[in-house]
Every structure is written in C-alpha cells, then in structure tokens.
Structure 1
Amino acid sequence: MRSLRTIAVRRVRATAAWTAVAIAGAAGIAGCATSASEIPTLVPVYHGNRVWNGVTTTHDGRTFVSYPQADGPGVQLAELDGDGRAVPYPAASWNTIATDRDLAHRFVHVNAARIGPDDALWVVDAGAPGIGKPVVPGAARLFQIDVSTGKMARVYALADATRPQSYIDDVRFNGRRAYLTDAGAPGLLVLDLDTGAVRRVLDGHPSTIDTRALRADGKVVLDESGTPLRVHADQLEVAPDGTWLYYQPASGPLVRVPTRLLDDATVSPDALAAAVQPWADTPTTGGTAIDAAGNIYLSDTDHRRILKVSPAGETSTLIADPRLIWSDAMWIDASGYLWLPASQQNRTAGFNQGQMTVSYPVWIYKLKIGVQPSPIDHR
C-alpha cells in the first residue's frame, strides 16, 4: 500500500508555465469525431501521481480531492495543502481500507466529496469496493465533516435503501433533503438530513438504467473481463430554485423529475415514474456541475470536451481540449471558475479491459466561466 502520509501533488502557478503542460497522446484524439487544440484559457492547477475523480473548494480557498482507487489502494480523500501536497483527510486512519469489522472510523470506497451549502465537506462512501462488486454491510454512508475542526459532524447510514449490488455514486442538496444516485443497482435515494430517514425511489426505472454503451476517446468502454461496462444512475444536479432534479446514467440521456414529488413519501412509484421527463440527449459523461442560472455543464468523454445544457434544454460546446481526458466530477467556485479533474478514468484497468494505460501525472484544470455556483448547492 502506498504511504498514507502524503501523495505527490504539485500546484501549477498561473503563469506561462501552462504552455509546458503535456500529456502523452494529447496531440490528437485517435478515433474521435471531434478534434481540438489546447485552449490557453484552460489553466492547469494541480498535477499528481494518482488518479483522482473529484475536486471541491471552500470559500476561503481550501481544496479537497477524492481518489477512486482506480490505480491501487491508498488515500481516498485528501486536502491539498499550500505546497500542493495531498494530506489524507480527515486523518490517515480514515483512509485505511475498511471491512465490515471496522467501519466506525474508516472509509470503504470514497466516490464523491463536495462542499455543501452549509460549508461542510460531504463525502459519499459507495459502500462497495467497485461497481458490480457486493456491498460491504453497513458501508454505504454519507459523511458530513466540519472542515473548521476536521471532525465528523454526522454520519448518515444508507443501508435501508441499498441493494446487494448497490454502488452509491454521488450526492446533491435541496434544503434539508439530499439526493443520491445508485450506479450499481439503478435507482435514486432521498435522504432526510434532519431525521436520517432514507428512501429508495425510481428503483429500476428506465431513466436510471445504463442501456447504451459507455464511450471514451472513440471506443466502447470495457471492464476487466472485456465486457461493456455499465454505470447506472450517476450524475445529478438540482435546479437553483430547487424545483427539479436532473439525473442520468453515465452514458446519458439526461432527464428531470419534480423534487416536490421526490420529497413526498406518499407519492406512488407509478406516479413518480410518470413524472420523469426527457431533457437532453447527452453523451457518455464523467461529471457535471450547475451554475446559478441553471446551466448544466457536463463532460463528453468521447470527444474530450465540456458541453453546456441551458435551462431551456439546449446543448452547446463550452470547450474542447485534448487534455480533458475523461473529465470527472466538476466544481464551480465563487470566483467563477469551472474546475475540471481530467481523471483518465478510461485508461484505468476497470475501464480498459484490465490494462492500466494512465499517462501520469494526472491533472486538474480550471476554466473561467464568469458565473456563480447554484446557491442551494454551495457558495
């Protein structure tokens, strides 16, 4: 196992140093329908020696990253310090792989981490060591960490709404509700943040099922056995006014459903299913973000670009750049930057027929978009 003290990460100063950025194979996108050259406004911020799948920042400038264990066991959640070092968070002990015998102070598999509207760091434990792998009993959890103290403020158990093949993927907030996606056993979870009660909704609904092939860099994504990988309900965003939840399987398409129906436990499964609306025919997506105006940003992993879906459901290209290799969980900060971790997830063994072809270092970029994040998501 790699050291739990620090991971080699370097911050790139916002100078002409960006021109020296190079990733093997980034000169072109073999097999892709869309080509692109490097865009000067896409600024490299951090690079590291492990695959990360998410980045989040506090309003006072702290940065946290998550690691999906795609290139071996090690730190799962870290804070990047002033020197660019990845320090295990909230402590090294939490980052020691847990089993069903020692869950109290350990993660099993961190899959998402983000600052919430309360300025706490919220962390999703998928509850299973990987997609398609059996859950560890009691491991599917949502953690709320007070970043001012580094202490766990609350741990929400999600076991009441999981299935044997569940893989809890990501979380978004709407007042005192949290919504989570299940990428392993297709469905959504609705969590009451006051009581801790959790319900499973749209269980096995077609909108939550990955029915078409995942694609990246012009190829179908295959798992370690060479079988097309399926990632069910994955990305999700809440409209800035809280009225709609947008979600999709990793291969699209994007749909929406009224949150008033999600939040009402008396609404029948059939009535909720009937309220799901198609929204945008999106491609295979690594991650999303939503701004204060309701624009949704999502990555197109097949063409190394970021798309923008307007509040009217119209899709346009925000940026295409060969460095954006499987952009994963995005983040909009208060300064109007869209943060983009280029995870290279499609080059990891689980997404690449058992072959590791990641070209290190792995980068995080940011792009000035000049808009604020959704106020109900974070500030």
Structure 2
Amino acid sequence: MRHLLLALFLAPLLAFVVASSSAMAAPMDQLVPEFASNTLIMNGVTTALDGRRFVVLQPQKPGQPEIAEITSGSAKPYPDAAWNSWHVGQDGRAAFVGANSLRIGPDGALWVVDRGAPGIGAPLADGGPKLVRIDLATNRVSRAYDLATVAQGASFVDDVRFNGGVAYLTDAGRPALIVLDLTTGQARRVLENHPSTIAARPLMAEGGQLMDAQGHPVVVHADQLEVSDDGRWLFYQPCSGPMFRLETRFLDDPSLDNEMLSGHVAPFADTPSTGGTAIDATGTIYVSDTDRSRILKVSPTGEISTLIADPRLAWVDAMWIDDSGKLWLPAAQLNRTSGLNQGRDAVDWPVTLYSIAIGAKPVRR
C-alpha cells in the first residue's frame, strides 16, 4: 500500500515536471539571432520603419564606433566616421564622447544620448553631454541639444523617452530626471536625490554583485524609463530597481518644486536589477532581469510574470519593439566586461542581438 500511495503521489508530480520542462523549452526556441559580433558589444538597438537597424556600442578598444548601422552583415559607423572618432582632449560638440542609448523617435529620426564621458566615473568632456538628432533621410545630424546646464560633475546621462514636445532623460550618476523642452532646448533637473532616483540596492547579474576594476560596488542610479501610450504616465527606476511612476502633467509643470513633485511619485513594481526596458501599446513593460537572465513582463497594474528565461540572455540591455511585433534583445554581457567584473574580461563571444515575437504593438511617442 505504501508503494502504491508513493506511486500515486509521484505520477502527477512527474507529469507536472515534464509539462513544465516542455513549457520552458518552447519559449527558449523562439529566440531568433539577428546579428552577432566577435568584436563589438551592442547594448542597445532600434529599427526604422523601412527596416534599417541601428545599435549603440560600448567600445572595448580604440577605433571601435559608438553608433553603428547594421548593413550587409556588418556594423558601419553612423552617421559617419567623424562622429565616431572622438579622442581625449577633443571638444565633444560634434562627436560622440560616450553614446549610451539610442532610439527612433516619434518623428522618425534617430536620437542618441551621449553621456559626455568615455566611461563610468570619467570626467565629462566639454560639449560632451547632449541629445543628438540624426535625420535618416540625409544621414546627417540636424540638432544637438547641449545638456551642460543639467549634466555636470558626476552626471551620467543615460536614456531618453519622448512625450510630445518634451524629452525625459535619466541621470544615472547624479540621481535625477531631466526634462528637456525640444523647441527651446531648455532643460531642468527634477527629483534630484529623491528615493525613486537613487540606487538603494546592490546591482546584481548572473548571481553576483557588480564590482568595478578596483573592487568597488557598481552603482547606477536613475536609469530605465518608459512613457505610456497615452502619454499620461512616466515609469522609471534605478538600474537595481524598483520601478516608480509619476503622471507627466506634474513632471511637465515647472512651477512644482522637488518637494511638491515628490508627493506625486508612487511605487509601481518591485523590479529586479535591470539592463533595459520596453513598453507596448497595451501598457505592458518588458524588463530584463540581469541576475536571472530572463525577460519579465510588468502588467499595467504592476504584476510581474516571466516572458522567457534563457542563459543566452546575459545582461540584455536597451530593448526595442518593432512594428511587426518583435521584441529585440541585445544580450550585451556588460557584467562580464572587465570594467564591471573586477578587472576580468569574461565575455563569451560572439555578442548576439536576438529577437522574439511578442505580437504587440509598440509605443511611438
């Protein structure tokens, strides 16, 4: 009787394990390699309506570009070599000093965030911190927004999202959000040193805390941000989570000081250490979990579920949803680079850009 009871107990358990294993295998097989490189680390991707693909790179040796277009199976410096040839001591107004993110904006142009420094903790170059607009029809820079008035000292301008005539950016070095008027070019800092912009947790990846080459913990403050499809909400977080939200009508009001503005900030989702995010038109936010190599889905009410878990998704950074319903996933392996891995280079080449079909429409604001 004991053996019979044990068998009756184990049978459904075994069936559950087999079913669960099959369910895990199916999503993993949905990953599509789109581009791979044995020399370049891609930590962001965006695609234009006509299919053109652009990536932001983190150069690991001299001569590598900051921004590139993927064409004919290779990564070509974009918009040209000059913009990708900055050197120490050079004025940064007409070159990428340290491109950190990029995206096709609602106007169809390519927008690039230049943190203005060649690396974390490095001094800002003159004219370095900026938001650059590139016209895809002419492949020329049409405007560069100087962020020197709001990005100084330890600033590390990180990412950007749009809402009508306003751009929102994060400062991951001096924790704050930046609100930029795209017409006048005037910018202001908000929520500086607010709990929602400060990294209060260890930054984790693949089971360990990130340490720099000197053995110090890596700290990345306000980093990821998304705007809802209706433009009502801004979602944002430090790199190590969690995620907060704020109505943009308050963010856009220059009459509100930090104390008044902070009263409108609310916790949204208990997200983990994150490489990048993307949002679809239904309000679902996709979050890369760098500690467990997976992509999470955050519902419009803040509930978290797993889209896919796969060891190949090592530090997926800035994601992108294209107009065919594919989620693009740059598995950047940044945590394995020497600067974020106690001086040891453990990158498993090639670095691969994946995609997965999610059947969702993107937000284009």
Native 8 Å contact 1:250 1:285 kept in 2: yes
Determine which structure has more spread, i.e. the larger CA radius of gyration: 2
Native 8 Å contact 2:91 2:128 kept in 1: no
Deviation (angstroms), 1:77? 0.5
Letter in 1 for 2:260: A
What residue is the counterpart of 1:303 in the other structure? 292
- Asked if 1:55 corresponds to 2:42, the answer is no
Decide which of 271, 274, 278 is 2:263's aligned counterpart: 274
What residue is the counterpart of 1:129 in the other structure? 118
What residue is the counterpart of 2:59 in the other structure? 69
Native 8 Å contact 2:172 2:220 kept in 1: yes
Greater RCO (Cα-Cα under 8 Å, separation 6 or more): 1
Decide which of 130, 135, 141 is 2:130's aligned counterpart: 141
Letter in 2 for 1:248: Q
Native 8 Å contact 1:247 1:254 kept in 2: yes
Native 8 Å contact 2:92 2:116 kept in 1: no
> Residues 178-197 of structure 1 correspond to what in structure 2 (within 5 A)?
178-197=167-186
- In structure 2, what is the Cα distance between the partners aligned to 1:245 and 1:71? 36
Greater fraction of residues in helix: 2
Native 8 Å contact 1:299 1:326 kept in 2: yes
- Asked if 1:316 corresponds to 2:320, the answer is no
- In structure 1, what is the Cα distance between the partners aligned to 2:101 and 2:200? 23
Decide which of 138, 153, 161 is 2:150's aligned counterpart: 161
Letter in 2 for 1:328: D
What residue is the counterpart of 1:7 in the other structure? none
Deviation (angstroms), 1:336? 0.1
Decide which of 90, 99, 122 is 2:79's aligned counterpart: 90
Aligned-residue CA RMSD in angstroms?
Answer: 1.4
Letter in 2 for 1:55: V
Deviations 1:46-89 (A, max 9, x none): 001211100110011000011122455521100011x2111100
- In structure 2, what is the Cα distance between the partners aligned to 1:222 and 1:115? 32
Among the aligned pairs, what percent are the same residue? 55
**Aligned residues between the structures:** 341
Native 8 Å contact 1:134 1:166 kept in 2: no
Native 8 Å contact 2:100 2:115 kept in 1: yes
Per the normalisation by structure 1, the TM-score is 0.88
Deviation (angstroms), 1:101? 3.8
Deviation (angstroms), 1:332? 0.1
- Asked if 1:213 corresponds to 2:202, the answer is yes
Letter in 2 for 1:241: D
Native 8 Å contact 1:55 1:64 kept in 2: yes
> Residues 337-348 of structure 1 correspond to what in structure 2 (within 5 A)?
337-348=326-337
Native 8 Å contact 1:131 1:183 kept in 2: no
What residue is the counterpart of 2:140 in the other structure? 151
What residue is the counterpart of 1:227 in the other structure? 216
- Long gaps (5+) in structure 2: 1-23
- In structure 2, what is the Cα distance between the partners aligned to 1:125 and 1:36? 39
What residue is the counterpart of 1:361 in the other structure? 350
Deviation (angstroms), 1:102? 2.9
Letter in 1 for 2:114: D
- In structure 2, what is the Cα distance between the partners aligned to 1:73 and 1:92? 10
Letter in 1 for 2:265: V
Letter in 2 for 1:228: P
Letter in 2 for 1:75: P
Deviation (angstroms), 1:100? 5.3
What residue is the counterpart of 1:247 in the other structure? 236
Deviation (angstroms), 1:105? 2.2
Native 8 Å contact 2:27 2:308 kept in 1: no
Native 8 Å contact 1:38 1:323 kept in 2: no
